[in-house]
Amino acid sequence: MQRQIEGSRAVAEAVAACRPEVVCAYPISPQTHIIEAVGVMVKSGSLSPCEFINVESEFAAMSGAIGASAAGARAYTATASQGLLFMMEAVYNASGLGLPIVMTLANRAIGAPINIWNDHSDAMAARDSGWIQLFAETNQEAADLHVQAFRLAEELSVPVMVCMDGFILTHAVEGIDVPAPADVDSFLPTYEPRQALDPQDPVSIGAMVGPDAFEEVRYLAHLRQLDALERIPTLAAEFAQVFGRPSGGLLHTYRAEDAETIVVALGSVLGTIKDAVDRRREVGERVGVLGITAFRPFPREAVWDALSGVRRIVVVEKAFSIGFGGVLSTDVAMATHDGHCSLRTVVAGLGGRPITSLALEQMLAAATRDELDPLTFLDLDHGVVERERARMSVTRRSGPSAENVLRDLGTTRVVEEVP
Q: Kind and range of the H or E element at 327?
A: none
Pairwise CA distance, residues 404 & 394, whole Å: 14
Options 195-203, 269-277, 305-313, 326-334: segment touching other proteins (CB under 8 A): 195-203
Options 16-24, 169-177, 298-306, 336-344: segment touching other proteins (CB under 8 A): 16-24
DSSP state of 342: E
Beta carbon of residue 181, minimum distance to other proteins (angstroms, whole number): 18
Considering beta carbons, is residue 51 or 177 the nearer one to other proteins?
51
Beta carbon of residue 269, minimum distance to other proteins (angstroms, whole number): 35
Considering beta carbons, is residue 202 or 323 the nearer one to other proteins?
202
Applying CB under 8 A, does 203 fall inside the site for other proteins?
A: yes
Considering beta carbons, is residue 192 or 212 the nearer one to other proteins?
212
Options 197-205, 242-250, 254-262, 310-318: segment touching other proteins (CB under 8 A): 197-205
Beta carbon of residue 107, minimum distance to other proteins (angstroms, whole number): 24
Cis peptide before 49 (omega within 30 of 0): yes
In DSSP notation, 239-300 reads HHHHHSS---SSEEEES-TT-SEEEEE-TTHHHHHHHHHHHHHHTT--EEEEEESEEES--H
Applying CB under 8 A, does 415 fall inside the site for other proteins?
A: no
Angle of helix 401-409 versus helix 382-394 axis, rounded to 10: 130
Considering beta carbons, is residue 191 or 243 the nearer one to other proteins?
191
Considering beta carbons, is residue 90 or 256 the nearer one to other proteins?
90
Near other proteins by CB under 8 A: residue from 208, 226, 283, 394: 208
Applying CB under 8 A, does 75 fall inside the site for other proteins?
A: yes
Beta carbon of residue 304, minimum distance to other proteins (angstroms, whole number): 38
| Cα dihedral 23/29/30/31 (nearest 10) | 0
Pairwise CA distance, residues 144 & 125, whole Å: 24
Letters for 78-117 (x = contact with other proteins by CB under 8 A, - = none) are -----------xx--x---x--------------------
Pairwise CA distance, residues 11 & 147, whole Å: 9
In DSSP notation, 62-107 reads HHHHHHHHHTT--EEEEE-HHHHHHTHHHHHHHHHTT---EEEEEE
DSSP state of 110: -
Considering beta carbons, is residue 19 or 108 the nearer one to other proteins?
19
Letters for 33-72 (x = contact with other proteins by CB under 8 A, - = none) are ----------------xxx-xxxxx-xxx-xxxxxxxxxx
Exposure string of 359-380, with b = 16+ CB inside 10 Å and e = fewer, is bbbbbbbbbbeeebeeebbbbe
Near other proteins by CB under 8 A: residue from 112, 190, 212, 418: 212
Residues in touch with other proteins (CB under 8 A): 21-22, 24, 49-51, 53-57, 59-61, 63-73, 75, 89-90, 93, 97, 197-199, 201-210, 212-213
